[in-house]
Amino acid sequence: MIDTVSTTATSAASAAMKQSMGMNKDDFLKLFITQLQNQDPLNPMDSTEYISQLAQLSQVEQAYNTNSNLQSIISALGASSSLSAVSFVGSEVTAAGGSVALKEGSEAAITFSVPKAAEQVSVAIVDGNGEIVRTLIGGVTPAGESTLAWDGKDSSGAQLASGTYGVAVTGVDAAGTSFACSPLIQGTVEGINFAGSLPLMVIGGIEVPFSDLLRVKGVM
């Protein structure tokens, strides 16, 4: 993806370079020739400094042209990147995550990756205030991806409101040692959010950066 911050910086640098030039190479040559034509024959001017300045001006102008070309390339790549992001809409994907979206009255599937076989896994569900509202317990779980269903209720059995909740998953091996598991987000890409500096996939109402993408199954 093309970082719009980098694009903005390049544009600013190009504009500043153009402004600092003051006159272009042709203007400088005209001034230089005029001064040569009107110089005192008995006291000719030293042209060394002018030639040096002309060389420097040529370098600056070349650098400005290079930056202008680079800006055009970045703009083209940015447009191409946006089109590529849109092509993910409708695809079923798996991404690294730590959130689950709940619709009141419906179950939510919590998917996670277990690095090694576990005798037990526990899934802590956290609300927006950082409080654990429910802990789900799973039995023997093999290494790989697994899913636990959450009925959307808290520890007391009360139905929780719709929204996005945090997820933390822990496993316990046969020796009784705890280890971290990786929560995942699975679902269909519903849209792309371009509001920020980088596009974000919208999966089940959760915004996910493309850098967290792990697997794409294709358009459903």
Segment 98-128, tens digit of pLDDT: 999 999 888 999 999 999 999 999 999 999 9
Beta bridge partners, 125, equal: 134, 167
CATH code assigned at 108 = 2.60.40.4070
Token digits of residue 137: 């317990």
Please give the average per-residue pLDDT across 127-140, as a whole number: 95
pLDDT tens digits, 28-64? 667 766 766 676 666 666 666 666 666 666 666 676 6
Residue with tokens 């995942």: 184
User: Largest Cα–Cα distance of the chain, in whole Å?
Assistant: 104
Domain that holds residue 167: 91-219
Which domain-ending residue is among 58, 86, 114?
A: 86
Q: Are residues 130 and 215 in the same domain?
A: yes
Strands 200-203 and 144-150: unpaired
Q: Are residues 103 and 30 in the same domain?
A: no
When divided into structural domains, the chain yields a total of 2
pTM (two decimals): 0.61
Report the distance separating Cα 205 and Cα 146, nearest Å.
Answer: 21
Helix (H, G, I), strand (E, B) or coil at 54: helix
Report the distance separating Cα 201 and Cα 110, nearest Å.
Answer: 18
Which domain-ending residue is among 37, 61, 86?
A: 86
Q: Are residues 121 and 82 in the same domain?
A: no
Q: Are residues 184 and 200 in the same domain?
A: yes
Q: Are residues 176 and 75 in the same domain?
A: no
Q: Are residues 119 and 214 in the same domain?
A: yes
What is the number of alpha carbons within 13 Å of residue 106 lying toward its C-beta?
A: 10
Please give the average per-residue pLDDT across 124-152, as a whole number: 95
Q: Are residues 58 and 133 in the same domain?
A: no
Is residue 3 scored above 50 in pLDDT?
A: no
Q: Are residues 69 and 148 in the same domain?
A: no
Q: Are residues 98 and 189 in the same domain?
A: yes
Which domain-ending residue is among 42, 66, 86?
A: 86
Is residue 206 scored above 50 in pLDDT?
A: yes
pLDDT at 75: 53
pLDDT at 34: 74
Residue 134 backbone dihedrals phi, psi, to 5 degrees: -165, 145
pLDDT tens digits, 69-97? 566 554 544 555 666 888 889 999 999 99
Q: Are residues 82 and 111 in the same domain?
A: no
Describe the chain by its helix, strand, coil percentages, rounded to 5: 35, 40, 30
Q: Are residues 57 and 163 in the same domain?
A: no
